[in-house]
Amino acid sequence: MKSQEYLPPDFLTYPSIEISSTSKWQDIVDTVLPYYRLDQELPADFAAKLDAIAAKYDAPEDRMIEAMRLVQDNIRYVSLSMGRGSYIPRSPTTVVASGFGDCKDKALLLASSLRRLGIHADVALTDLDEGVALATILPTIRAFDHVIVKVAIDSQTYWIDATNYLQGGRADNLIPPDYGFALPIVADKAGMEKIERKELYQPTTFVNEVFDFPKRKGEPLKLTVTTTYWGADADSMRYKLVSQSAARIADDYLKYYNRQYPGMKSLGPLVTNDSRDKNLVSVTESYDLSAGDLDADNLSKDFALKSDVGIRYLPEPDLLERSAPIWLGSPIFRRHRCTVRNLKAHFVGPEDNDDVITPYVAFKARWTSTSTEFQVDWFLKTLNDRIPAKSIGPYLKSLKKINDNSAWNYNFAYSDAEAN
């Protein structure tokens, strides 16, 4: 049998037999429960910070977020996966004193901190890559490679990965880790629990490009790009902005535009704005393209407007005749808008409806125009996390149509007679 790419974590490629010494997850939990006591003493200075949170915030949801940030932002993540450290967490006192910890250490510290703040929290076992399959396998301690925290406030459940850094949002817009399932370490009635995904009601990345064509001969084209990130994409971008130099990020962006429009030059450093509570991050770039570069190789007469809505994240398998579904993974919802201004003619988009709507992915393109401005809006959203094997053929046809309609070319040097 040929190998099949892009497999869902819970899909069995070959027949297999599982053998376990127990049929209950509670037996697995009871094995590790003594190491995850949540009544351990916290260092005095750390406890004082928690008490300050309690004094400042009455709502348990706010206390949860502030404690989360205290652990995520101030205790460095360092993996300790040798010997005893592979399975047993260090005490909160040791972790705080050292200033670092792995997933077990940080999860235990966060859960203990939340308990001190009067919030019910438990440590939970999960798997970073195979978590979706946890609900389908027999109980075994070897099923896990990661530890997170489950928080219960009234009837609401929150899942927090303490190893994240600078995570944004408050309780109402906190993004749970996309690990599928987790096993809370509790004394009674332990069982695998699903980590529910939040429905995406707005794009998590919105790229807004504005091209100002020169009004007079000899002037440069101006390009302003504002990209807004929300939710999980904002968390990723926030981390990128602190883990890489702004100059390197700006250089990567400039290279991207130079591949499309040779000669593009940056007009200054990136301008960033971060609303951490709303979990919104925006990045603004400014460029220009000289009149000579705009005219070179007839660029203005064959000017490309290209969408960046995450099409590259959609898998395209080589093997068509396969028995396995295709795994789409975490949800995607992206938008890209191009606005071209100062035109001397009226431009339009395709008359035919080029929407692609399937049970698995949706792609739309919308355009508007005036006598001096043309605008196109692309949207891409995944609607499921997998594509059944029987639907792979239609999916690949839809993917081709998406790619064909993700870039439009125009002769923006053209002028109407009245414009002349």
Quote the DSSP letter at residue 175: P
pLDDT tops 60 at residue 94: yes
pLDDT at 339: 98
Please state the rounded mean pLDDT for residues 175-182: 97
Span 173-189, mean pLDDT?
Answer: 96
The one-letter code for the residue type at 219 is E
Q: Does the pLDDT at position 370 exceed 80?
A: yes
Name the amino acid, one letter, at 168. G
In the prediction, which pLDDT does 320 show? 66
pLDDT given for residue 323 in this prediction: 85
Instruction: Using DSSP bridges, classify how beta strands 265-266 and 361-369 pair: parallel, antiparallel or unpaired.
Output: unpaired
| 211 DSSP β-pair partners | 223, 340
Nearest to 279 by CA among 234, 223, 216, 328: 234
Q: What is the pLDDT of residue 321?
A: 75
Determine the Cα–Cα distance for residues 118 and 116; give it in Å rounded to an integer.
5
Q: What is the pTM of this model?
A: 0.93
Mean pLDDT value across residues 368-377: 96
Is a pLDDT exceeding 90 seen at residue 213? yes
Output the CA torsion sign for 110, 115, 116, 117. Answer: positive
Q: pLDDT at position 351, please?
A: 78
Query: pLDDT value at position 419?
Result: 42
3-state DSSP of 283-349: EEEEEEECHHHHHHHHHHHHEEEECCCCHHHCCCCCCCCCCCCEECCCCCEEEEEEEEECCCCCCCC
pLDDT of residue 402: 95
**For residue 46, what pLDDT band results from cuts at 50, 70 and 90?**
very high
Is the model's pLDDT at 420 over the cut of 50?
no
Number of H helices, E strands in the chain: 9, 20
Q: Each residue of 319-352: pLDDT tens digit? A: 667 889 999 999 999 999 999 999 999 999 987 7
Percent of the chain's residues with pLDDT above 70: 97
The mean per-residue pLDDT over the stretch 270-297 comes to 96
When the pLDDT of each residue in the chain is averaged and rounded to a whole number, the result is 93
- pLDDT tier at 3 (50, 70, 90 boundaries)? confident
Helix (H, G, I), strand (E, B), or coil: what is residue 245? coil
Question: Is residue 83's pLDDT more than 60?
Answer: no
User: Is residue 123 over pLDDT 70?
Assistant: yes
What would the mean pLDDT of 386-404 be, rounded to a whole number? 93
Q: Tell me the two tokens of residue 413.
A: 């040097």
- What would you report as the CA-atom Rg of the chain, rounded to the nearest whole angstrom? 26
Q: Among the listed ranges 143-152, 223-232, 276-285, 313-322, which one has the minimum average pLDDT value?
A: 313-322
Burial class (CB in 10 A: 0-12, 13-18, 19+), 163: buried
What pLDDT score does 101 carry?
Answer: 95
CB count in 10 Å sphere of residue 275: 12
Residue 275 has pLDDT above 60, yes or no: yes
Mean pLDDT of 54-60: 98
